[in-house]
Amino acid sequence: MFKRFLKYLLIITTLLGTLLFSIPFIVPLDSFRTILEEQLSQSIGRKVIIGALTPHAVPLPALTATNISILNSPDQPGELFVEQMRTTLDPLALLDGEIIITTIHLNGVGTNLKFINTLITPPGNAGNNTSHSSLLAVRQISGSNVMLRSDDLTTLGPYRFNLQLDSDFNSKEISFSRMDNTLQAILRPNTNNTFNLRASGKHWRLPVSPAFNFDSLNVQAVIQRGKAELTRVEIKGYGGSLTTSGTLSWGERWSYQGKLNSSNLQLAPILKQFDINTYEGRFHSDLTVRLDGKNPGQLFTDPEAKGAYHISHGLVKREDDGHVLLRFDEFSANGDLSKGALINEHNILKTAGGTIQGITHLFWKAQWKIEGWVVASEIDAEKFLAGFIDDKVASGTFYATAEFSLTERDNEELLENPYLNGSFRMTDGKLYKADLEKASTTLSSKGSQGGDTPFQRLTGNATIADHRITITDIDIISDSLSAHGDITINPQDALDGEVTVALRKTASIISAPLKVGGTVNNPRLRLTNDVIIGGVIGTSVLGPGVGTAVGMKVGHIIKKISSALGQGEAKADLLPSSQ
């Protein structure tokens, strides 16, 4: 794969070496620069420009060429620029009629991926052998401060390299590294025109976007024309580890296909590379992956992956203030990531002492969208709602079945206007800031606020749409009462609805319809006007207790009759201001 690279260097150094010993040092070499440029350009099929030539006699014969440019051509894209190229020869070999170049050192090299691709992927009809003179030998080629520019103008480097050659111009070993030694690699040739690669790195940063940082890197691979078989890649970073094996290929496009396993990776700093700051947790996976792009910088633009993954010790938070909305012990799924979509099957979210299972579909190309259905069981309602609502609303063990959809232009706003429709059940809990028993016997236009309502069972249907929550078919059962009704919560968290309460201690004689008002954080319950008037009259005639109950029942019947006649509810000015 390096034959064409050697060909360029051998042509250049042969001409320079011949020139060095053919012309006395007292003759200015600058006068021959134009002829040399023409010969080099013709030999390699590219335009070659040389800034200056300087001979050296001590300590060893050498020739330095500066500001060398090898430009692109119609069939050979890419460019190479070298600030300085120093060629040193063995003077004793001349006694035997040989030209032995002990070292060729390039310093200040700048090139791009197009030039590299042309070197390592020659045309299919190109011969494998590079012709050279038997009187010429090169022992070592090295370089320092080598900079590489990708197709998306990302600058990689600086690097150094060292190439050891045998007498037949075959490479014995190639080593290269970053100048700061954060990345090192050794290539050793095999007999079948392949190379064994061993690479390692410490505190290394991926040179293309996304710029992941790794504590350590170890790579084992076999490289051949146009591809590399990665037998094992081990990466440690972000508090965890990642291993992968597969095939990396290049040419007209770059691609990678293989297996990827990860363990205990911190999710937050990884997602930050994609401008996502609302999730935390530890990521674990067993995936098959496929990456593709015109250049290395595009490999992660539209990745594909399929397999099992889970996130442990996770949380979801708001973007603006970092407030934690939800904490969870673990989320696991079988995922299929492709074409801007993530399809999750067999989702299991363990949170608030219970589980939420289902299927979710995530899309983010045109806009961000999550849709799916879930089944929740044994959720601690108070703990689950703590991040979404400032004050306590309800406690108990929560069960539900629902379908949902969230759609927004920005992923940070996905929870701003959700859609949800489903049914729920709660057991052995309590409604906070609302005492249904007290409110059903309070004969006042002000109604009742505060208190709690314990229950053994609470069921209903819920719909969230257009910033509005509608809860219908509410059914509450406790030792002291039963209740049913409907409630709506508007975008300003204001409550509106009616709940009918039957108190068990009066053998269900009292069946009191309550108007629901106030807000989620400060609800207000009061009897309907007709029931309050009936209760007051009954109390006056028959006395408290039975009289009150009978009067409320009569008031409820009057309401039904009035509604049938189109009269509506009793006038508010007829209501007493207190019991």
**Domain limits of the chain?**
1-178, 433-574
Work out the pLDDT band at 571, boundaries 50, 70, 90. Answer: very low
Q: Which residue has the tokens 């989320």?
A: 331
Distance CA 447, CA 524 (A): 7
The pLDDT, as a whole number, for residue 19 is 55
Give pLDDT tens digits for 55-110.
Answer: 777 777 788 889 999 898 888 888 989 999 888 877 777 667 677 778 889 999 99
Among 5-9, 122-126, 320-324, the minimum mean pLDDT is found in 122-126
**What three-state secondary structure class fits 557?**
helix
- Give the DSSP letter of residue 234: E
Of residues 119 and 476, which shows the higher confidence score? 476
- pLDDT exceeding 70 applies to what percent of the chain? 78
Distance CA 244, CA 232 (A): 6
Q: For the chain, how many residues are written?
A: 579
Distance CA 545, CA 418 (A): 47
Of residues 40 and 412, which shows the higher confidence score? 40
Work out the pLDDT band at 282, boundaries 50, 70, 90. Answer: very high
The pLDDT, as a whole number, for residue 13 is 58
> What separation, in Å, do the N-terminal and C-terminal C-alpha atoms of the chain show?
97
The pLDDT, as a whole number, for residue 460 is 97
Cis preceding linkage at 28, omega within 30:
no
Give pLDDT tens digits for 203-252.
Answer: 888 776 677 888 999 999 999 878 999 999 999 999 999 999 999 998 77
Cis preceding linkage at 59, omega within 30:
yes
Distance CA 87, CA 106 (A): 9
CB atoms within 10 A of CB 146: 21
Mean pLDDT of 121-135: 47
Mean pLDDT of 351-355: 96
| H helix and E strand count, the chain | 8, 30
Work out the pLDDT band at 128, boundaries 50, 70, 90. Answer: very low
> Does the pLDDT at position 357 exceed 90?
yes
The pLDDT, as a whole number, for residue 45 is 80
Task: Tell me how many degrees the CA angle 137-141-146 measures, rounded to the nearest 5.
Answer: 160
The pLDDT, as a whole number, for residue 513 is 86
> Does the pLDDT at position 545 exceed 50?
no
**Does the pTM of the predicted model rise above 0.75?**
no
In three-state form (DSSP H/G/I as H, E/B as E, the rest C), the secondary structure along 297-350 is HHCCCCCEEEEEEEEEEEEEECCCCCCEEEEEEEEEEEEEEECCEEEEEEEEEE
> Does the pLDDT at position 139 exceed 90?
no
Among 34-48, 86-100, 160-174, 293-307, the minimum mean pLDDT is found in 86-100
Work out the pLDDT band at 446, boundaries 50, 70, 90. Answer: confident
Give pLDDT tens digits for 14-45.
Answer: 555 555 555 444 445 666 678 778 877 887 78
Of residues 559 and 61, which shows the higher confidence score? 61
CB atoms within 10 A of CB 69: 16
- pLDDT exceeding 90 applies to what percent of the chain? 41
Among 98-112, 135-149, 304-318, 518-532, the minimum mean pLDDT is found in 518-532
Q: Which residue has the tokens 């299972």?
A: 357
Neighbouring residues of 307: CB distance < 8 A, sequence distance ≥ 6: 285, 286, 287, 288, 334, 335
The pLDDT, as a whole number, for residue 360 is 93
Distance CA 205, CA 179 (A): 14
